[in-house]
Amino acid sequence: MDDSPSASPRTNWLERLTHFLLREPENRGELVDILHSAFERHLLDADALAMIEGALNVGDMQVRDVMVPRSQLSVIDIATPPEQFIPHAIETGHSRFPVIDGNKDNVLGILLAKDLLRYYVNRQSVELRDLLRPPVFTPETKRLNILLAEFRDTHNHLAIVVDEHGGVSGLVTLEDVIEQIVGDIADEHDKAEEHITPARNGLWRVKGTTEISDLNDILEIDLPCDEFRTVSGLITHELGHVPRRGEVVNIGRCHFRIIRADSRCVHAVTVRLQPTLIQTDLKH
Lowest-confidence region among 18-27, 124-133, 245-254, 268-277? 18-27
What is the predicted pLDDT for the residue at 15? 62
CB 261 within 8 A of CB 244: yes
Average pLDDT, the chain: 80
Would the pLDDT of 47 be above 90? no
What is the predicted pLDDT for the residue at 283? 44
Would the pLDDT of 111 be above 80? yes
In 3-state terms, what secondary structure has residue 263?
Answer: coil
In this structure, what are the phi and psi dihedrals at residue 5, rounded to the nearest 5 degrees? -55, -30
Would the pLDDT of 1 be above 70? no
> Could you give the CA distance from residue 254 to residue 241 in angstroms, rounded to a whole number?
19
pLDDT digits 0-9 by tens, 80-106: 887 788 777 777 778 889 999 999 999
Can you list the domains of the chain with their CATH numbers?
65-177 (3.10.580.10), 191-278 (3.30.465.10)
Q: Phi-psi region for residue 61, left (φ > 0), alpha (ψ -120 to 50) or beta?
A: beta
Which of the pair, 163 or 90, is modelled with greater confidence?
Answer: 163
CB 171 within 8 A of CB 159: yes
